[in-house]
Amino acid sequence: MAKKITLPLTDEVIKDLNAGDSVLISGSMLTGRDAAHKRLFDLIEKGEPLPVDINGEIIYYVGPAPAKPGHAVGPAGPTSSYRMDKYAPALLDRGLKGMIGKGARNQEVIDSMIKNGCVYFAAIGGAAALISRSIKKIETLAYEDLGTEAIYRFYVEDFPAIVAIDSRGNSILVQTKK
């Protein structure tokens, strides 16, 4: 049975999540992909303010397709997370509490998650149309010139995901030899 999570995430909820847990997420989350992450990272490197407050937020690695009439968004499947690995530790250090994507993360990201008490969720690749049904409303927050790679706020209800890496670094994505 899936655990129901309401955003924003609290440290208590994060600590209670274990790698392999199925979750249904409700509330609001940020979105962003490669181009938006690069811009955020460049601002952090320059010591400049970010265009959105990421403290306590989750970011979903997605570039949503245009919405069909009567829908908040078109297909919205996860992007491969490794493409954000260069930028993730800096964002986690700035207060980001969770990430949603697909695929493994590098050790630097995992170490930063442990240090900052964060969680990484995997969304199901290939289920973009199904995932989009849980997205009830979207707002453009920053970098509108990036089109689908802009930073949006998604309002979601029962967004399906799996805890891929918990705040202690346990992962369903890593296989160990015995």
Q: Could you report the per-residue pLDDT of 12-49, keeping only the tens digit for each? A: 999 999 999 999 999 999 999 999 999 999 999 999 99
Identify whether the C-beta of residue 34 lies closer than 8 Å to the C-beta of residue 146: no
Q: List the domains of the chain with CATH numbers.
A: 3-165 (3.20.130.10)
In one-letter notation, the amino acid at residue 130 is L
Its pTM stands at 0.93
Alpha-carbon span 77 to 25, nearest angstrom:
15
Going 161 to 166 to 171 to 173, the CA torsion angle's sign is: positive
Identify whether the C-beta of residue 130 lies closer than 8 Å to the C-beta of residue 104: no
Confidence of residue 66 (pLDDT cuts 50, 70, 90): confident
Identify whether the C-beta of residue 85 lies closer than 8 Å to the C-beta of residue 124: no
Identify whether the C-beta of residue 92 lies closer than 8 Å to the C-beta of residue 112: yes
In one-letter notation, the amino acid at residue 60 is Y
